[in-house]
Amino acid sequence: MTWGNIAVDIFFITSGFLITSSYISRNNLTAFVWARVLRIYPALVMAVIFCVFIVGLWFTTFNKWEYLLNNQTHKFILKNTTLFFGIEGQLPGVFNNVPWKNAVNGSLWTLPYEVKMYAILAVILSFIAWLGKWINSITTKNTLFLVGLFSITLHISNHFQPILPEKFVRLFSMFFIGAAFYVWRDRIRLSSRWFFIILPLLLVSTMSKDVYFIFYCLFLPYLLFYVAYVPSGHVRKFNKIGDYSYGMYIYGFPVQQTMAAIIPDISVAIMMTYSFGITLILSILSWHLIEKRFIKMKKPYGIEIRPCQSK
């Protein structure tokens, strides 16, 4: 397990929490789909254009027209701007001589999974709303609790006896645990006492990989929401300036690859410094020029997310 694995897990837990809020607050499938399209695709399309027509054209070893007319270039554009058929990581003749060869924007691999989770959530909640008209005991809270419980059980069992694709099961589990936390947020108490019991237990469990994996799956969501909302949610205040997280995600990888290509044998410290600064600038531009403007188009369906209880 790498820090990258943990970061993606945190991202999907958070996404499950927020996206469930988005759907339930709107209670409208069309509005939900429209909101998701506006949030993901405009900035993504611009990031793909950046990769193809700026980074790719600059670093390709192909002739300019050979590069632009190459099927691999068209495949990169089509797959990465739709996400329906997975993603494409390579452009012809680009980044052939860097440590992570040929990869232009590897970070995009999570986005098709993210879109799949949106679709599964929408199907589940739409089905619950339809079935609930005849069976009162079938509610969103009960169903998502069962889905969350099933998903985490499946993830743990699949770890010890692999049957299903590991990535899908893992991300499905994290997303729907986040969804269950949202619908049960009024009953969840974020206690400092429990936080300082759970955290040492998780650290001690690292002495055994298998025990750690079980504790990690069970405890990570609680630890995440505690840090997010206690005390008083200070960690969430960075969004007051602007939500640069998506831009950081979709521009970080190609910027790092660019640094590796321009400065061979670059040190980790210099790589982090330069790539963070450049990515932050691109993320700020993405937020203010693209993302924020398209998000305003879904404003009639605005929502307010209420936190879990704390004490």
pTM for this entry = 0.89
Domain that holds residue 184: 3-310
Alpha carbons 124 and 118: distance in angstroms, whole number: 10
129-172 tens-digit pLDDT: 888 778 877 889 999 999 999 999 999 999 999 999 999 999 99
Reduced to 3 states (helix: H, G, I; strand: E, B; else coil), residue 158 is: helix
Quote the mean pLDDT of the chain. 92
User: What is residue 305's predicted lDDT score, i.e. its pLDDT?
Assistant: 47
User: What is residue 311's predicted lDDT score, i.e. its pLDDT?
Assistant: 42
Q: Reply yes or no on whether the pLDDT at 304 is more than 70.
A: no
User: What is residue 286's predicted lDDT score, i.e. its pLDDT?
Assistant: 96
Surface-to-core class of residue 42, CB atoms within 10 Å of its CB (0-12 exposed, 13-18 middle, 19+ buried): middle
The full DSSP string for 14-70 is HHHHHHHHHHHHH--HHHHHHHHHHHHHHHHHHHHHHIIIIIIHHH-SS-HHHHHH-
Q: How far is CA 5 from the centre of its chain?
A: 11
User: What is residue 303's predicted lDDT score, i.e. its pLDDT?
Assistant: 47
User: What is residue 136's predicted lDDT score, i.e. its pLDDT?
Assistant: 77
59-103 tens-digit pLDDT: 999 999 999 999 999 999 999 999 988 999 999 999 999 999 999
pLDDT confidence band for 283 (50 / 70 / 90)? very high
Q: Which residues contact 13 (CB under 8 A, 6 or more apart)?
A: 174, 175, 177, 178, 181, 220, 221, 224
The number of distinct structural domains making up the chain is 1
**Rounded mean pLDDT of 208-224?**
96
Reduced to 3 states (helix: H, G, I; strand: E, B; else coil), residue 2 is: coil
Q: Reply yes or no on whether the pLDDT at 176 is more than 50.
A: yes
102-130 tens-digit pLDDT: 999 999 999 999 999 999 999 999 999 88
Q: How far apart are the first and last CA of the chain?
A: 32
